[in-house]
Each structure stands twice: as C-alpha cells, then as structure tokens.
C-alpha cells in the first residue's frame, strides 16, 4: 500500500488490526524458536502492539519498526514510558526505553543489522501482492544465519484489495522457499474458510 494509506489510518484511528491483548499464538509458540534472552528480536511494522512488552520481558533488546510516528508515540504514551529520542542520519527517529527500541520510518530503508529472531504478526498480511516479494526479500536479508522467524498469517475469501491480505499455505511456501518452513498450527473459524496460521521459519546456519 502507499505510505499515505497507513498514515491516514493511524491519523483517523482506523486501527482494527490492533489487539488489546498479547497474541495467544505468540505466547504459545515463541518457545519453539529456542530463543535466548541475549538474542535481539526484530518486529517489522509493529504498530503500538503490546506484544512488544511481552517480548521485552524475555529479551534484552527488542526492535520494532513502524511507519507511523503516531503509532510509536502512542505506544510509549499508553504504556507510560518516557523514551530517549534521537533522529538518525537516515531520517528515521529512534525511541528507546530500557529493552525497547522503536524506529519510526520506512522499514525498507531503516538501517538494521541481521538478527536471530523476527516476529511478524501483522506485516506480511499488510503487504499487497505487488510489495510482497520486496518485503520477504528484506526479511530474509535481515534473518541472520540460523535465525528464526515466527510468522502469523490470515486466510479468508478476499473480495477486495484492502489489507489485511489473505495469505494461504502456498504463498508462504513459495516466498520462503529454500528455508526450513514448519506450520505449527491452523485455527479455522466455524465457517471453515477463514482463520489464522502460525509458522516457524528457520534460515540456514
């Protein structure tokens, strides 16, 4: 989507994708990544997710990247955190508080180092098909050798061109081909044609 689309969604508080509780699939399956406390966690397109808090309780450094500065500032305000703020030469703004570092700006141009752990709950599903390969290429570049990705996707009969986008099994297997891909769980709603899936994806060592 165009960046202006997301800026407008946050400006108008049209954020139905935001959860008020930690995602249960994160809590249930994070341990399958065999995460160590000193391993940095990267959360692309993090919004103001409280999943960040949950991860920060378990890791020494959690980096979230979010296009909307409104979302980043809301995260710190709603959690009553007072971050240190600095602007990087890239134009991105970094907000830091204890274990948390939120970077406000474009995920594709942020200066990031490869990391061992990535958590994607709402990023891949936010990418239109025209940007999907670009996003996955960026994630694969940022996954260190032996790194692990916990990916949560949605599937449903999509009738329009608006996010979140339906991501079925074949898409995940195609875009992450060459990596170790494991489907951990599928939760299907009663109607049977929509639900969530959680994946463990490992980079080659």
Binding site membership: which residues?
10, 45, 66, 121
Residue 116 zone, left/alpha/beta (φ > 0; ψ -120 to 50; rest): alpha
Contacts of 44 (CB under 8 A, 6+ apart): 65, 107, 118, 120, 123, 135, 139
Sign of torsion over alpha carbons 153, 159, 163, 165: positive
- Rounded CA-CA distance 144/42 in Å is 11
- Rounded CA-CA distance 67/106 in Å is 5
Q: Which residues are annotated as a binding site for S-adenosyl-L-methionine?
A: 10, 45, 66, 121
């Amino acid at each position: 989507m165009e960046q202006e689309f997301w800026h407008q969604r946050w400006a108008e508080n049209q954020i139905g994708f935001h959860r008020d509780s930690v995602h249960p699939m994160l809590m249930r399956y994070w341990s399958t990544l065999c995460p160590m406390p000193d391993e940095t966690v990267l959360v692309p397109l993090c919004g103001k997710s409280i999943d960040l808090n949950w991860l920060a309780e378990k890791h020494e450094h959690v980096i979230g990247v979010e296009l909307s500065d409104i979302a980043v500032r809301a995260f710190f305000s709603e959690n009553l955190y007072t971050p240190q703020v600095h602007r990087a030469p890239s134009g991105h703004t970094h907000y830091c508080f204890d274990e948390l570092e939120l970077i406000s700006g474009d995920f594709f141009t942020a200066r990031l180092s490869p990391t061992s752990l990535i958590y994607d709950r709402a990023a891949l599903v936010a990418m239109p098909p025209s940007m999907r390969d670009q996003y996955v290429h960026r994630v694969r570049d940022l996954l260190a050798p032996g790194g692990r990705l916990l990916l949560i996707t949605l599937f449903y009969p999509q009738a329009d061109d608006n996010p979140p986008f339906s991501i079925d099994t074949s898409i995940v297997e195609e875009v992450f081909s060459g990596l170790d891909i494991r489907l951990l769980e599928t939760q299907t709603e009663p109607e049977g044609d929509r639900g969530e899936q959680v994946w463990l994806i490992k980079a080659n060592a």
